[in-house]
């Protein structure tokens, strides 16, 4: 399976390459690989949460109220992701959420000026 090939290591530190007929008694998972994979997933979620509202604003024509709801929804999702998937403290979450909201509102303001 993918998890076993990617995350397992041998006791001597080399990558797992078990042979036919050998019985393994202990599975050793590489902490560095698991942390790298987890960070990749967090970055993927962050990029998606950043790009989805921008793509929604560009590809659809929404009313201002609908745009405000989309901004509110994605700012809320961003703050939840930041608090659950990272070990950020409350001030860091507040600063990150405020910055994200400012970026979305700035993009929204520029988009409204371009359409008129």
Whole-number Å distance between alpha carbons of 105 and 111: 10
Taking phi first (over 0 means left), then psi (-120 to 50 degrees means alpha), and beta for anything else, what does residue 21 get? left
Quick: pLDDT tens for 43-102. Answer: 888 888 888 988 888 888 888 888 889 889 999 998 988 888 788 899 999 999 999 889
Q: If residue 28 lies in a helix (H) or strand (E), which one and from where to where?
A: strand 28-29
pTM: 0.63
């Amino acid at each position: 399976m993918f998890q076993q090939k990617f995350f397992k290591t041998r006791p001597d530190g080399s990558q797992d390459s078990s042979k036919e007929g050998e019985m393994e008694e202990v599975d050793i998972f590489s902490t560095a690989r698991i942390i790298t994979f987890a960070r990749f997933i967090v970055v993927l979620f962050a990029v998606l949460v950043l790009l989805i509202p921008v793509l929604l604003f560009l590809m659809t024509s929404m009313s201002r109220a609908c745009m405000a709801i989309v901004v509110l929804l994605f700012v809320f999702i961003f703050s939840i992701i930041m608090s659950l998937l990272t070990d950020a403290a409350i001030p860091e979450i507040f600063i990150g959420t405020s910055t994200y909201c400012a970026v979305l509102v700035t993009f929204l303001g520029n988009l409204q000026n371009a359409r008129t």
